Chain A
């Protein structure tokens, strides 16, 4: 089955860019997602990229996909203290009609003032 991996922690200074990385194993993954979880809350969908795209930009967020290396990254420009949260990468493959997601273990982003 699919395996999704992320580093556990990342610290950046306010105003710097953050880059959160993710690798996945299933080359047939069709959609790749980034979710944000703030303390005590559920997961909020930030953005997603379809597997036939290399890059997607949405305001301060840039998603890069390297299908050859099965590597996904999320760049947050001008990182703010409000961006401190856990970020989850998730992938979905051709699992019939179930649309199941496989999640990474999450990257805790800490933004230092």
Chain B
């Protein structure tokens, strides 16, 4: 099993550009999450999903949208990127137990 995978690994955007980050999991997990990690601030939850076709806002949802059209995929979109969205983005999934399994991260720089 690959676990949780994320694409791309790195991306540089100009202010105002859009992009989509893809997260995929092969563990048949119901729950999926998107976090951002900034220095000294730990991980903050952006959006999450409790099952296929569902999404919900986390702690810092502004400027992001998500979709969960298939159980195994969770997409994070930035419609108009801003320098404040420069961060490392992590996807995670969770199944029958409460622990979350994380992907390797996407490093995004917005100039």
Contacts and interface: CB of A to CB of B under 8 A. Distances in A.
Interface residues of B, number: 24
Contact of B42 (A33, A41, A88, A99): A88
A97 interface: yes
Contact of B58 (A40, A41, A48, A100): A100
B104 A48 contact: no
B105 A97 contact: no
B39 to A, nearest CB: 9
B45 to A, nearest CB: 6
A42 B105 contact: yes
Interface in B10-40: 31, 33, 40
A95 to B, nearest CB: 10
B98 A99 contact: yes
Interface of B: 4, 31, 33, 40-45, 48, 50, 56, 58, 90, 92, 94, 98-105
Give the 3 A-B residue pairs with the shortest CB-CB distance, closest first: A42-B102, A103-B42, A105-B42
23 contacts: A4-B42, A31-B98, A33-B99, A40-B105, A41-B104, A42-B90, A42-B103, A42-B105, A43-B92, A43-B102, A45-B99, A48-B99, A88-B42, A98-B31, A98-B48, A99-B100, A100-B33, A100-B45, A101-B100, A103-B43, A104-B42, A105-B41, A105-B42
Interface of A: 4, 8, 30-31, 33, 35, 40-45, 48, 88, 92, 97-101, 103-106
